């Protein structure tokens, strides 16, 4: 089975532009989460979607938005890009097992804002 897939892998934008990042979860996973990882730090939670509904939101401005589609894939949108938005954006899909939750990440989209 394919893992979590994200596109594009790299992206260069300029300040003020908007960007859309895409994520396909592992087949059968209904939960998708988005994380931002600034260089040298651990990932920070942005959003979580389950069955197409937003279930959680981290401490990020309204310029960040997301949605989940009927096939459970997801998009993260960022408007009015700032230099500080430059980061690795990670998508994760998760499912519950008898042993608890397992959460798997994609390879990420490296966003550079110039």
Partner 1 sequence: AQKITQTQPGMFVQEKEAVTLDCTYDTSDPSYGLFWYKQPSSGEMIFLIYQGSYDQQNATEGRYSLNFQKARKSANLVISASQLGDSAMYFCAMREGNAGGTSYGKLTFGQGTILTVHP
Residues lying near partner 1 in the complex (CB under 8 A): 31-33, 35, 41-45, 48, 50, 55-56, 58, 88, 90, 92, 94, 96, 99-108, 110
β-bridge mates for residue 11, sequence order: 111
**Closest separation in Å from C-beta 110 to partner 1:** 7
**CA atoms within 13 Å, Cβ hemisphere of 107:** 8
**Closest separation in Å from C-beta 100 to partner 1:** 4
* Local structure of 83: helix, strand or coil: helix
In terms of CB distance, is 80 or 103 closer to partner 1?
A: 103
| Distance (Å, whole) CA 87 – CA 11 | 10
**Closest separation in Å from C-beta 16 to partner 1:** 26
Residue pair 70/61 in contact by the 8 Å Cβ criterion: no
In terms of CB distance, is 2 or 15 closer to partner 1?
A: 2
């Amino acid at each position: 089975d394919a893992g979590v897939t994200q596109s594009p892998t790299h992206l260069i934008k300029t300040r003020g532009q908007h960007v859309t990042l895409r994520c396909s979860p592992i087949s059968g996973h209904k939960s998708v989460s988005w994380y931002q990882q600034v260089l040298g730090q651990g990932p920070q939670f942005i959003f979580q979607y389950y069955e197409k509904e937003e279930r959680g939101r981290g401490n990020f401005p309204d310029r960040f938005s997301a949605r989940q589609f009927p096939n459970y894939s997801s998009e993260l949108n960022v408007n009015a890009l700032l230099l500080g938005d430059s980061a690795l954006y990670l998508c994760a899909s998760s499912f519950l097992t008898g042993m608890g939750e397992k959460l798997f990440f994609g390879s990420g989209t490296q966003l550079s804002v110039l």
